[in-house]
């Protein structure tokens, strides 16, 4: 897949702070934007395994669903709903619950 200048910028910033969840999420989304959903999924799954970054759960669920990894997508969304509840993010909880309902 094609690389973008933004990928290079984000990776340079991540070299200074590899644990930055926002940057890691941004890198995954940049891969998704060029059609490299397999890499995006891998990056998002690693992110949410390392830290409960709520936006990462929804995006991972959506991408996994598009990759026809539906069972895995549902499991990720359930974890995301729990993380959103714990963080008091009712909007994200509702989005993930609604998406999960359409998949089950």
- Which domains occur in the chain, in start order? 5-103 (1.25.40.10)
pLDDT tens sequence for the chain (104 residues): 688 999 999 999 999 999 999 999 999 999 999 999 999 999 999 999 999 999 999 999 999 999 999 999 999 999 999 999 999 999 999 999 999 999 88
Q: What does the pLDDT read at residue 5?
A: 94
- Gap between the Cα atoms of 79 and 73, Å rounded: 10
Write down the pLDDT at residue 2. Answer: 82
- Encode burial over 49-63: b for 16+ CB neighbours within 10 A, e otherwise: eeebbbbbbbbbbbb
What local confidence, expressed as pLDDT, does residue 49 receive? Answer: 96
Contact 36, 66 (CB under 8 A): no
CA distance 77 to 85: 12
Residue 104 has what pLDDT? 83
């Amino acid at each position: 897949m094609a690389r973008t200048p933004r990928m290079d910028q984000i990776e340079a910033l991540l070299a200074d702070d590899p644990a930055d969840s926002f940057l890691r999420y941004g890198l995954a989304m940049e891969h998704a934007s060029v059609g490299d959903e397999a890499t995006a999924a891998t990056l998002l799954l690693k992110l949410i395994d390392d830290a409960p970054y709520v936006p990462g759960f929804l995006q991972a669920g959506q991408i996994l669903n598009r990759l026809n990894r539906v069972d895995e997508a549902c499991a990720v969304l359930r974890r995301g709903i729990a993380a959103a509840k714990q963080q008091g993010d009712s909007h994200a909880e509702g989005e993930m619950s609604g998406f999960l309902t359409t998949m089950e």
